[in-house]
Amino acid sequence: MSLAFRLPDLQPGLRADLAQALHAMPVSRLVGLRVLGFAPEGLSAVELPIVPAITFDGRVVQGGVVGLLADYAGVSAAASTLPAGWAASTTGYEVHNLAPAAGERLIAVGEAVRVGKSHAVSTARVWALAGGQAMLVAMATTTCRPFELGR
């Protein structure tokens, strides 16, 4: 398993409905979250610009915000594998902060581990990027419940 930063090969337009739903969430707009895209094998990438409003000291992103980004990445990775008309709701996540989340932006890459009818498990890695360099700042496990929209 490599710990070097690598953005997955994202497919333009894949799960545009999911990206649109994530962008429409008020909290996404509040923090400036942007979905970079999805890959068919259950991968997602989301990014967050680092601005003073999401830090605790004007420089380092507050841990809860890092957790929010990991949650988005992990659950959206699982949701991206579901059939059209289905979504997923977070049931839990555990984040391990590894280094201060400082730089220009954060990118979280989510990967679906197992997606079933009643629950799904994913992982997420959060990277801080600055000056062309990337540092792994957090790792997370997320769980969610798939559900059919309108039910």
> Per residue in 113-127, pLDDT tens?
999 999 999 999 999
Q: Look at residue 80 and tell me if it is in a domain.
A: yes
Instruction: Classify residue 3: in a domain, yes or no.
Output: no
pLDDT at 91 over 90: yes
In a domain, 85, yes or no: yes
Tell me if 151 is assigned to some domain: no
**Confidence tier at 3 by pLDDT (50, 70, 90):** low
Please state the domain count of the chain.
1
* 2 pLDDT higher than 60: no
Per cent of the chain over pLDDT 90 is 91
Is 2 part of a structural domain of the chain? no
Mean pLDDT for the chain overall: 95
Domain that holds residue 128: 16-146
Q: What is the pTM of this model?
A: 0.94
Tens-digit pLDDT profile for residues 126-150: 999 999 999 999 999 999 999 998 8
45 part of a folded domain = yes
> Which CATH number do you get for residue 94?
3.10.129.10
pLDDT at 46 over 50: yes
Phi and psi (nearest 5°) for 70? -65, -40
As a dihedral over the C-alpha atoms of residue 98, residue 99, residue 103, residue 109, rounded to 10 degrees, the angle is -10
Give the pLDDT confidence score for residue 150 in this predicted structure: 80
Question: Does 6 map to a domain?
Answer: no
The yes-or-no verdict on residue 1 having pLDDT over 70 is no
**Within-domain flag for 90:** yes
